[in-house]
Structure 1
Amino acid sequence: MNITAVPASDALATTTEALLAQLPAWFGIAEANAEYVNAARTLNGLVARVGDEPVGVLLHRRHFPEAAEIHLMAVGPDHHREGVGRALVNQLLTELRRDGCEVLQVKTLGPSHPDPGYAATRKFYRAMGFRPVEELQGLWGSNPCLLMVMTL
């Protein structure tokens, strides 16, 4: 597996769209998926590939010199539990630390929603070093949003 930095572009949007289509249990809201695909045209990303096949994508943004966010991470279902997500996050951490960033955040479906897939997502982010800060209501319609952060 290799990970490459990919600038915001139509190519990154195409990769993002293809991966989201493989993950309807996590990304099953058409309007939200369209927003993620459009975000890939304005946010930089990291793409994990096995051979020539994209198997994971991470879109990120810098809010301030000290603070960044993982906007989206998606790993193809055939590559779950193979270290793709960990490698994507670790690559981002390396880049952010080198650039003087101090805090990284991610938002995911909150624990008050019983979705088992997102319970695994939260467990993954905790294992990576993120800590829950607040579950927000109203940010994503009726879905609770959990804000998680890590210091770099």
Structure 2
Amino acid sequence: MVVEITNPQEKQMIARSILEALTDWFGIEESREEYITGSADWTFFAAKEAEKYVGFLCLKETGKATVELAVMGVLKDHHRSGIGRQLVERAKEVARSQGYEFMQVKTVKMGVYDDYDKTNHFYISCGFKELEVFPLLWDEWNPCQVYVLSLK
């Protein structure tokens, strides 16, 4: 079940519990803390199973017509169970209803790390299209791939 969370402290608690369990993707503590702090102010969806939060997704506005999927995490033992797709679908519905025309997401470029290749394939399967790679946006070891999705 996907629910929207509005309490800032609850958002941060959920984000922390999930991101700290996903160090293959969120291993840099400074970056992880930025996501946790930012989650308090972003539109926040959480997936719950058996009274436990197993995934979440945050949206933040990046332009008048564009919202960014700022951070998303699903506990590893729940990967490939449909939870990530449910979170993305809910986020698309809400973003569309709020008048946004595009959704973007940033991840590490395909072909750099196996775990991120799985992430890339997931976003592509959700309808995102490659927009551009920024080789040095983060650092030379993590070239940033930007994907976009039309909400029209």
Distance in 2, matches of 1:23 and 1:52, equals 20
Task: Report the RMSD for the aligned CA atoms in angstroms.
Answer: 1.2
Equivalent position SS for 2:87: helix
What is the CA-CA distance between 1:8 and the residue it aligns to? 5.8
Give the one of 104, 115, 118 matched to 2:116: 118
**Displacement, 1:92?**
0.7
Segments of structure 1 that go 5 or more residues without pairing to the other structure are none
SS of the residue corresponding to residue 62 of structure 2 reads strand
> Superposed, which structure 2 residues align to 1:129-148 within 5 Å?
129-142=127-140, 143-148=142-147
Are the counterparts in 1 of residues 111 and 117 from structure 2 also a CA contact under 8 Å? no
Task: Give 1:112 deviation, angstroms.
Answer: 4.9
The CA distance in 2 between the partners of 1:27 and 1:45, in whole Å, is: 18
* Deviant stretches of 4+, over 6 Å: none
Structural mapping, 1:1-152, within 5 Å: 2-7=1-6, 9-113=8-112, 115-142=113-140, 143-152=142-151
Following TM superposition, by how much is the alpha carbon of 1:7 offset from its aligned partner in structure 2, in angstroms? 2.2
Amino acid at match of 1:23: L
SS at match of 1:28: coil
- TM-score normalised according to structure 1 size: 0.94
Q: For residue 64 of structure 1, report the CA deviation from its aligned partner.
A: 2.9
**Distance in 2, Cα, partners of 1:118 & 1:8:** 30
Q: How many residues align?
A: 150
* Cα drift, residue 133 of structure 1: 0.9
Alpha carbons 1:46, 1:57 under 8 Å: kept: yes
Q: Residue by residue, what CA displacement relative to the aligned partner does 1:23-71 show, whole Å, maximum 9, x if unpaired?
A: 1111111111111111112212100000210000101112233211100
Amino acid at match of 1:86: R
C-alpha distance in 2 between matches for 1:109 and 1:26: 10
Alpha-carbon separation, structure 2, partners of 1:71 and 1:49: 20
